[in-house]
Structure 1
Amino acid sequence: MGWTTLDDIDLDGKIVLTRVDLNVPVEDGRVTDTTRIERVKDTVLDILEKGGKPVLLAHFGRPKGQVVPEMSLSQIRGTVQEVFGRPVRFAADCVGPAAEAAIAALGAGEVLLLENTRFHAGEEKNDPDFAAALAALGDVYVNDAFSAAHRAHGSTEGITRHLPSAAGRLMDAELSALDKALGSPERPVVAVVGGAKVSTKLDLLSNLVRKVDVLVIGGGMANTFLAAQGIDVGKSLAEHEMADTARDISARAAEAACEILLPVDVVIAREFKAGAASEIVAASACPPDAMILDAGPDSVARVAAALAGAKTLVWNGPLGAFEIEPFDRATNAAAVEAARLTREGRLISVAGGGDTVAALNKAGVAEDFTYISTAGGAFLEWMEGKTLPGVAALEP
């Protein structure tokens, strides 16, 4: 897999339309988490250094093709300017006269933020006329929003049909990390997949059993696999109607020589609340009135052993109900072990997904992983082996 980067394209004197993810949380007009803004800073500053004029394209919320004032990007302009350390102008539209005038007035060293692309219905419809109107504003297109790359929208895919296109620094880093994780990884490869439902991760599991050497299944998904083996999981969260599917995935894993690791011991409780009375039992010994809420210490030891023998780790989803103590212990312990191996240079670790990022932050090890993706749906679709339109459009 290859893609064009900022280093492959001439930016000097060019208007560089730059797709970024600025869909940040805002409360009372104040940005509460600047992570996504900080992550695109390198790309914007590199464009300026190379003599280009960055014009930012972004969406905010889901206005569904309507102008919704509370979803205007104008409210985050000040924060963007503060993070970038450069003057950031704002245009009240992303196409047409307002955008054209703002670009014409853009001075050296300045950045322009255009209004929410999703205020136009043509954005999500990938309307050719809208994509052409966007493209008419600039000379070069740079995509630095991997999180939106799984959508064929006007500002992620349609625009590339009109302009020379490249990946920004963040997109390049994300794609490089993902390629190392599943594209051309160092083996053995371990995948940790958790979460509530098998039904939401069918494509993911089906793809991974063909790509990895060991697949660790945790969370409510593990309960479904245990139940499919005829094990009574009591009142645990489980999709009993997915039993045939679970058995099919297990069979495909066996054919591909992929070992599936399920819990051998579990933490059970009668109540799902913080500090609830809990105990550790064999995975096959959950009482009818109890719930499995976490993997037990023997299960964690098996995961640790798999990590110790691995070269590459891909992680999506917690091993238990990590939001509530004491049901966060398995996730925390596995995360700490993965982080230690990464720090020692023995493991390439790539993680992604909202719950995963939250769990690794809670365990205090997010900074130690090789790469953590904040892309959500795009990360999941990539793990499922799907082609991402916004990425395919950047191939030479």
Structure 2
Amino acid sequence: MTPDTLMRRITDYANRADPYPLYAELRENGVVRQDNGAYLVGTYHEIAALLHDPRLSSDLHNRIDPDESLLPPEGLPPAFIGLDDPEHDRLRRLAMRPFGPPHTPGRIDALHGDITRIAEELIDAFGDKDRIDLVDDFAYPLPVTVICRLLGVPHDDVPRVRAWTNDIIAGVDLTPDQDPEQRRRTAREARTAMALYMGDLAEHRRGRPSADLLSALVNEEGPEGRLTPAELMATAVLLLIAGHETTVNLITNGMLTLLRHPGILEQLRADPALMPGAVEELLRYEPPVQFLPQRSPLTDIEVAGVTVPKGAPLILVLASGNRDPLRFEAPDRFDPLREDNQHFGFGSGVHNCFGAPLARIETQIALTALLRRLDGPLLLDDPPPYRRSPVLRGPRHLLVERAAP
């Protein structure tokens, strides 16, 4: 096959379990123009430079023939992840003010006890079951419970959040040769419903502040004021989805990797102090976000000797950069003791994931608890069935069998 079909092959569900040979092919071919006009970049140093290049736009309006289905629903502004500075910076700082440092440095650290309790309760609920689905029984409910508590979403509404999220993620399924129209229509309806729901929650907290993040967003006045009601809805939807979807994949990809490396699993079980470094290596080795599809140059730019024209879709394949042998020694080896591990697991530059500290803590706690309390877990399906999304890549189910007592 020719390099101009790489994106079709990467997004083909048949390659979801192991896209890494395709990423190696991408790196060998440099910057590759695809048959749909998009340009793929998979080498570490080029991706790093582009993530810090102000000539690269995240705003779909700056793309040639933007896909209107990816624009926000009518009446809602785009979330800051889809904007450029200075508007991106303004909205991001307003969202960060009650979330983390410098204004609220202790909010994430204060969740450590709650996250540990939730993880232990979920493992307790395994009971005497011989077979456990680590996605449905653990990796999904842990981060969704945490982000809902953080934002102030009532526990009884968590199933609605999950249903909306599933529809929204399905709307960006890039699998080739499928009609996406119905999925995208359903995704837009789900995003609208979630936005209205979060806006209603926020309004009920206006003037009646509580300890949750949504209350802080609607009530606290910073130097730049507050988010407008529409900006608040768009931001809340982003925080709710991004606050658990990537962490589900990180936990599940992490357990799958450890089950495939039993020696390392036992090493981490014996010495939990190694877990922070192991999580960093997991972010490099099996990142929850595989690529960034929404970028385009504001002017013609040259990348590795290839001219990418203004407005052309430019896709940064982060997972490929994470395994670039020009940056990482033995990149296909999982090494929790790896040093100088500046991966793209949370992106880089002005759009780096500001929820990264929370995701790191959740994953460290989750994997440590699972290793401590699951004796001799046996992976039943390898490869397991994967989720459809090629962007947010991770197993849909991860069945393990517990060792007999």
Taking structure 1 as the reference length, what is the TM-score of the superposition?
0.24
Q: Which one has a larger percent strand, Structure 1 or Structure 2?
A: 1
- Bigger relative CO (Cα 8 Å, ≥ 6 apart): 2
Rg larger for: 1
Taking structure 2 as the reference length, what is the TM-score of the superposition?
0.24
